[in-house]
A and B are shown apart, each in its own frame.
Chain A
């Protein structure tokens, strides 16, 4: 479905007004996503997870330097193709709730998403209604403006927009942040269901624990580099089948596991920085 081949990304960094450095945010990152799978991308804050999503969608800021190749359904995914496909075959569920239009009611917003995917307007209205019902947004939420929605509702609206656009590849950027366990489960289940319909889902999160139940494969990312791609079932017990020390440490550091950093983490981290 989507293949990322040796993608590198650099962003400018201003140490002072006149001095420009380049910060490497993605470093030869490769990834393949198949149809019908939920592929979780897990990493620390600042590992470049969100930038990866923007790079796939072609939404990076202009001064960014991008190297490497993206392929979507076997063909190179360049800027013009990205413009053509996003909102139609590629959908992003953004991390920031400010992605919703503040001046439009929920239902109209979702209808727009459906129209953008090429549905005639009468049908789009119907489809948006169905999607909103599916995510259990009641009549009041459907007629609400973005600022009247709670965080969990807004997330479900964004998910509904990705749903009606009938995208084949859905990228969900931190969809579970700030939700209570019940709502979180609902959003994650919705993503799993999209994958069960044969779509590809990239789930970007820093919560390994939340991603594991719905993910097929998990990619661990660190400082823009790929650490390891492992099947979700490798994360159990002491994580012995994980090949990389960092992903093992990540697994063991969870509060319901050892909740301890193994000796490697600090020392290795320093070596890593140096």
Chain B
């Protein structure tokens, strides 16, 4: 169980972004998070995955702090995959950074074998995003923070990506936090949904 207790966070002093936010994500749970631009959705996602440290409160996984090294059990999937990969690595090396997915898993996520010898610049954003999602599903991973991962995908690819992720999550009881602007998408994917505005979470 991933638990955030009374998180507060600000980038500039006296301009609080998140205040006293508590959140629980259980194994196998799909939780949706919406909010306006600049409301702090991505920041909250990064706090949960340990990319940022909160000024107050803490994030715990089964009662313990997040590990400091190794493959992180909470993976953050960012909006722009181009910034999340090393431009000097070929896609095959990027994909196998933490683990080696099988061919069937590659197929389920629509990752084609011919991409593996290319550099990330020669893949489109949507293609690269699928590589990044698959990369984040290493065996030790238990929670995902999907930050607008399907914004740049066309509807068909979007459906396929989410269906593949849903199957994988069901099998392994992954907890997933879906951050998106698209309310229709959140209604489809997540039984529980939260809205972030003015530093506070409200269910909807």
A residues touching B (Cβ–Cβ < 8 Å)?
13, 15, 42-47, 150-152, 177-181, 183, 206, 208, 249-251, 253-256, 259-261, 265-266, 273
Nearest Cβ in chain A — how far from B178, in angstroms? Answer: 12
Residues A45 and B182 in contact, CB atoms below 8 Å apart: no
Distance between Cα atoms of A179 and B127 in the complex (Å): 22
Residues B156 and A250 in contact, CB atoms below 8 Å apart: yes
Kindly report which residue of chain A lies nearest to residue B79, judged by CB atoms. A178
Among the stretches B22-30, B65-73, B168-176, B184-192, the one at the interface with A is B184-192
Beyond A150-B37, A206-B154, A255-B184, 20 additional contacts (C-beta under 8 Å) are A42-B154, A44-B153, A45-B125, A45-B153, A177-B151, A177-B152, A178-B37, A179-B37, A180-B37, A180-B181, A183-B37, A206-B152, A208-B155, A249-B156, A253-B156, A254-B184, A255-B155, A255-B158, A255-B188, A261-B160
23 contacts between A and B (CB under 8 A): A13-B122, A15-B117, A45-B124, A45-B126, A45-B127, A45-B153, A46-B126, A46-B127, A47-B154, A178-B151, A206-B153, A206-B154, A250-B154, A250-B155, A250-B156, A253-B155, A254-B155, A254-B184, A255-B187, A259-B188, A261-B160, A265-B156, A265-B160
Distance between Cα atoms of A254 and B157 in the complex (Å): 10
Distance between Cα atoms of A117 and B162 in the complex (Å): 46
Q: Is B56 an interface residue (CB 8 A)?
A: no
Most buried by A among B153, B154, B163: B154
Nearest Cβ in chain B — how far from A271, in angstroms? Answer: 14
Residues B37 and A152 in contact, CB atoms below 8 Å apart: yes
Q: Which residues of B contact A250 (CB under 8 A)?
A: 154-156
Q: Which residues of B contact A266 (CB under 8 A)?
A: 160
Distance between Cα atoms of A250 and B154 in the complex (Å): 8
Residues B36 and A260 in contact, CB atoms below 8 Å apart: no
Residues B154 and A181 in contact, CB atoms below 8 Å apart: no
Q: How large is the interface on B (under 10, 10 to 19, 20 to 34, 35 or more residues)?
A: 20 to 34
Distance between Cα atoms of A255 and B34 in the complex (Å): 15
Q: Which residues of B contact A43 (CB under 8 A)?
A: 154
Q: Is B52 an interface residue (CB 8 A)?
A: no
Q: Is B84 an interface residue (CB 8 A)?
A: no
Residues A261 and B159 in contact, CB atoms below 8 Å apart: yes
Most buried by B among A46, A265, A273: A46
Nearest Cβ in chain A — how far from B3, in angstroms? Answer: 29
Kindly report which residue of chain A lies nearest to residue B162, judged by CB atoms. A259
Q: Which applies to chain A's interface (DSSP): helix, strand, loop or mixed?
A: loop
Q: Which residues of B contact A177 (CB under 8 A)?
A: 151-152
Nearest Cβ in chain A — how far from B181, in angstroms? Answer: 6
Q: Which residues of B contact A152 (CB under 8 A)?
A: 37
Q: Which residues of B contact A253 (CB under 8 A)?
A: 155-156, 158-159
1/0 contact string of B16-47 vs chain A (CB within 8 Å): 00000000000000000000111000000000
Residues B157 and A44 in contact, CB atoms below 8 Å apart: yes
Distance between Cα atoms of A130 and B127 in the complex (Å): 41
Distance between Cα atoms of A230 and B137 in the complex (Å): 40
Residues B126 and A44 in contact, CB atoms below 8 Å apart: yes
Q: Which residues of A contact B38 (CB under 8 A)?
A: 150
Distance between Cα atoms of A208 and B154 in the complex (Å): 8
Residues A256 and B184 in contact, CB atoms below 8 Å apart: yes
Distance between Cα atoms of A17 and B160 in the complex (Å): 34
Q: Which residues of A contact B37 (CB under 8 A)?
A: 150-152, 178-180, 183
Q: Which residues of B contact A44 (CB under 8 A)?
A: 126, 153-154, 156-157
Nearest Cβ in chain B — how far from A9, in angstroms? Answer: 15
Q: Which residues of A contact B123 (CB under 8 A)?
A: 46
Distance between Cα atoms of A150 and B160 in the complex (Å): 32
Kindly report which residue of chain B lies nearest to residue A249, judged by CB atoms. B156
Residues B156 and A261 in contact, CB atoms below 8 Å apart: yes
Q: Which residues of A contact B157 (CB under 8 A)?
A: 44-45
Distance between Cα atoms of A43 and B151 in the complex (Å): 13
Nearest Cβ in chain A — how far from B184, in angstroms? Answer: 4
Residues A45 and B154 in contact, CB atoms below 8 Å apart: yes
Most buried by B among A15, A44, A47: A44
Q: Which residues of B contact A15 (CB under 8 A)?
A: 117
Q: Which residues of A contact B163 (CB under 8 A)?
A: 261
